[in-house]
Amino acid sequence: MRRRYPLWLGGTTVVCLLLFVLADRLWALPDPQRVRSVLILAQDRTPLRAFADNEGVWRYPVTLDEVSPLYVQALLEYEDRWFYWHPGINPFALVRAGWQWLRGGQIISGGSTLTMQVARILDPHDRSMAGKLRQMFRALQLEWHYSKSEILTFYLNLAPFGGPIEGVQTASFAWLHKSAVDLSHAEAALLAVLPQAPSRLRPDRHPELAQRYRDKVLRRMVIQGIWSQAVVDDAMNEPVMHSRFQQPMIAPLFAERMKSQAFAANVARLQTTLDANAQWAVDNVLRTRVGGLPPKASIGVLVMENTTGYVRAYAGSADFYNAERFGHVDMVQAVRSPGSTLKPFLYGMALEDGLIHSASLLSDVPVKLHDYAPQNFVRHFSGAVSVTEALQQSLNVPAVDVLQRLNPSTFVARLRNGGIVVSFPEQAAPNLSVILGGAGTTLEDLVRGFTAFARKGISIKPRFLSDEPIVERRMLSAGAAWIIQDILRGIPAPEGSVNVTGVAWKTGTSYGFRDAWAVGVNDAYTVGVWTGRPDGTPLPGSFGAIAAGPILFDVFRALPKQRDVNTRRRPLEVTQTDICWPLGESAASTAPEHCHVRQQAWVLDGHIPPTLPHLRQYSWSAGLQTYWVNPLTGLRVTAACSAPQRVARQVAQWPLELHPWLSNALLSTINLPKFDASCPLGSEYQEGTQLSIRYLDDSTCLYLPKVGEAQRTKSVTLDLHAEGGIGQYFWLINGELIGKVVGQQGLRYTFERAGDYDLTVFDAAGGVDKVAIRVMTP
């Protein structure tokens, strides 16, 4: 016989349900997932930095699978063993709590389920009958709208653990210094009981009391047969340590930068690409190096993974807490003068355009180009240098010369297209100084650009989140990038640093020693280092190779090793061949007598450009010079001479500006012979005797006068004279042009300092003579 229920019972149920639905609409449940605090995580979910909400609450959000099962077991057994079966309210627990209250005259237990505890966190109330009814209503709402797993997750993230700490993950890091997924039995029991009396049981204030309550939970787990007696005995031997709450502060400036993205995405936690191990390694390097910095100086370091573009380490300053060092200023994003760090891109573009190869002859000599007179950092000049030497030694004059041919505006445009944003003052245009630091860029952009040397000429934008799109730009051809990387690998490690094999690197120093840079790339990583004062105050003597270079190699040495990464496979378009100076062409196509210096060069697509025509204040450039001689005398003749016959000869000439740096033996091979006696008398040809400096030789020594009472400075003046040669005389001291005269006129020059001076004169026909003199103090 079917059991019948009274009609009024069904009607009452429907009415109650309708009233609940109406109440649910009128008094909506507060959103349990509202974002109040933000946590920035490393790739392995290590907390980097947390940002409290407006009320100062710290919460590290977690999911259920990111918490140890031991904690879930202890929590449910101690707080609500019927959690998965009741509808949010456990009537038996409420009856028990009421009976205890009536019998004892005070509240012994609240009878609250986990759902009710979440309800009270979301909608606080007083401990009264009305408050309890309100809590029960909110609990029913939770069960109506969310699953049990979701409600349990709310508890894991919202439960109070003392002071401003909410959530089991926050408590685990605060009191145990570990993630909640790694909890032991004793630690799980401790965190399960703390929310019962979070202020009274705080381990940093009352570790003994906290341990007693923890042991109570452990004994309960044995009684219920969930954990064995042996496991619990071991757990009880673990003391509750007095632990001080300290927020994680790993890569704080990076985390602050990521906070805005978390707020924009309305997420409570943001998992970034930062590698916690790599970040710790970089931080250890900075802790070691910061003591050796000048006062108020800082450091910026950025580490990128070449294959993915992931940012693996980010140090915006040397010490975030040091106000004197401007620790709050992020120097990874600061716009600063890049010094010479752009030179590899300049030579790479010139290679790509067919202007040079790796051993092209360049001139490192004093020069003025369009009223711009670049100087080398070391304040002296090397004369004839190859592209490889010019880049490895970071010589300024050759770089300015190559930039002039490439065009500054073109160079800057190609940099920007490749990912390096170069900025200038308002209404200023790119000029020749850009290659020496006469512009602005960031460490972030420089590192992005240098990734091209490990990625076949394609740069990759830094990626801070794994789901960010990959943004790649063509900076150089694969062949040009490989050649430049090979050249940069030949730069030795800084003095005193442990060499790290396979690092191609470049330094830079801005004008006035305001910025010191070192950027390097190997198969796995690209690393950039900046050091200086964030306020732009000069630090004399602090230049890239000394200040930033050692830090760069320390970082490379400390980074986690990566396997099976190799970007050193030489592209097919890159070949090696011998070339000859001064013509710059291949040795195979150069006559032996014209091959004065033999070099080995990397070339692109088999193209071997000749030595560039030199755009200087002189008229003579490298190339084959044809002249005629009288075969009977071997002396030079022209059509105006009456020699019975002429024979053509050729000589490979060096750029005239390099003559002061050539050896006397080499000069003797390229000087043209004197004119034959058959040439017309009284003509310029009869004046063409051997060019020589008069009255001075290598033994000449001049003395500066003593400074008397009427003489405030001391100097010595010398009249310079030469004879022979043809046309104008060009006079140089230490390779720098000091004047030119016509015919036999002299040139007066004043020496104001003691030292050794190389005195050179050459004429319009390429004749040259030089002597070395010394100026001394009395």
d(CA 465, CA 264): 14
d(CA 619, CA 446): 39
Q: Please provide the distance, in angstroms rounded to a whole number, between the alpha carbons at the two ends of the chain.
A: 135
Torsion of CA 294, 300, 306, 311, to 10 degrees: 150
- Asked if the model's pLDDT at residue 23 lies above 60, the reply is no
- Asked if the model's pLDDT at residue 709 lies above 50, the reply is no
Record the pTM. 0.82
- Asked if the model's pLDDT at residue 105 lies above 70, the reply is no
Work out the angle between the directed axes of helices 7-26 and 129-145 (0-180°, nearest 10).
90
Q: Measured in whole angstroms, how far is the alpha carbon of residue 710 from the centre of its chain?
A: 57
- Active-site residue flag, 352: no
Q: Measured in whole angstroms, how far is the alpha carbon of residue 594 from the centre of its chain?
A: 46
Q: Measured in whole angstroms, how far is the alpha carbon of residue 70 from the centre of its chain?
A: 43
Write the DSSP string, 252-304. HHHHHHHHHHHHHHT-SEEE-S--HHHHHHHHHHHHHHGGGSPTT-EEEEEEE
Q: Are 110 and 98 in contact (CB under 8 A)?
A: no
Residue extents of the structural domains in the chain = 36-236, 574-604, 623-776
* Nearest CA-CA partner of 396 in 350, 339, 352: 339
Return the CATH fold of 36-236.
Answer: Penicillin binding protein transpeptidase fold (1.10.3810)
CB atoms within 10 A of CB 376: 18
Element (H, E) at 390: helix 387-392
- Asked if the model's pLDDT at residue 352 lies above 60, the reply is yes
- Asked if the model's pLDDT at residue 223 lies above 60, the reply is yes
- For the chain, how many helices (H) and strands (E)? 21, 28
The mean pLDDT value for 434-446 works out to 95
For 136-155, how does the pLDDT look when each residue is reduced to its tens digit (9 = 90+)?
777 787 887 888 898 899 99
Q: Measured in whole angstroms, how far is the alpha carbon of residue 755 from the centre of its chain?
A: 42
Q: Specify the range with the lowest mean pLDDT, choosing from 113-127, 317-331, 501-515.
A: 113-127
Q: Specify the range with the lowest mean pLDDT, choosing from 347-361, 365-379, 545-559, 752-766.
A: 365-379
Amino acid at 728: Q
What is the residue whose two structure tokens read 């084959």? 624
d(CA 164, CA 412): 52
CATH for 623-776?
2.60.40.10
Q: Are 751 and 719 in contact (CB under 8 A)?
A: no
Q: Are 735 and 366 in contact (CB under 8 A)?
A: yes
- Residue 556 pLDDT: 96
Q: In b/e form, how buried is each residue of 560-577, taking b as 16+ CB within 10 angstroms?
A: eeeeeeebeeebeebeeb
What distances in angstroms separate CA 498 from CA 286, 492, 549, one per listed residue?
16, 10, 11
- Residue 11 pLDDT: 55
Q: Are 313 and 303 in contact (CB under 8 A)?
A: yes
d(CA 530, CA 519): 9
Catalogue the E-assigned strands of 26-107.
38-41, 47-51, 58-59
6 pLDDT band (50/70/90 cuts)? Answer: low
For 366-421, how does the pLDDT look when each residue is reduced to its tens digit (9 = 90+)?
766 665 556 665 557 788 999 999 999 999 989 999 999 999 999 999 999 999 99
- Token representation of residue 424: 């200038």
Higher-confidence residue: 677 or 458?
A: 458
- Residue 724 pLDDT: 75
- Asked if the model's pLDDT at residue 503 lies above 80, the reply is yes
- Asked if the model's pLDDT at residue 97 lies above 60, the reply is no
- Token representation of residue 178: 């570990």
- Asked if the model's pLDDT at residue 1 lies above 50, the reply is no
d(CA 584, CA 406): 19
For 547-572, how does the pLDDT look when each residue is reduced to its tens digit (9 = 90+)?
999 999 999 999 988 765 565 789 99
What distances in angstroms separate CA 374 from CA 13, 350, 366, 396, 434, one per listed residue?
93, 20, 8, 7, 11
- Active-site residue flag, 166: no
- Asked if the model's pLDDT at residue 615 lies above 60, the reply is no
The mean pLDDT value for 248-274 works out to 91
Q: Which of 172, 179, 340, 477 is catalytic?
A: 340
3 pLDDT band (50/70/90 cuts)? Answer: low
- Token representation of residue 597: 């210096």
Pairing of strands 269-271, 58-59: unpaired
Element (H, E) at 149: helix 148-158
Q: Are 695 and 721 in contact (CB under 8 A)?
A: yes
The per-residue pLDDT of the chain, averaged, comes to 85
Higher-confidence residue: 276 or 56?
A: 276
Q: Which of 37, 77, 79, 360 is catalytic?
A: 79
DSSP letter, residue 692: E
Q: Specify the range with the lowest mean pLDDT, choosing from 49-58, 450-459, 704-713.
A: 704-713
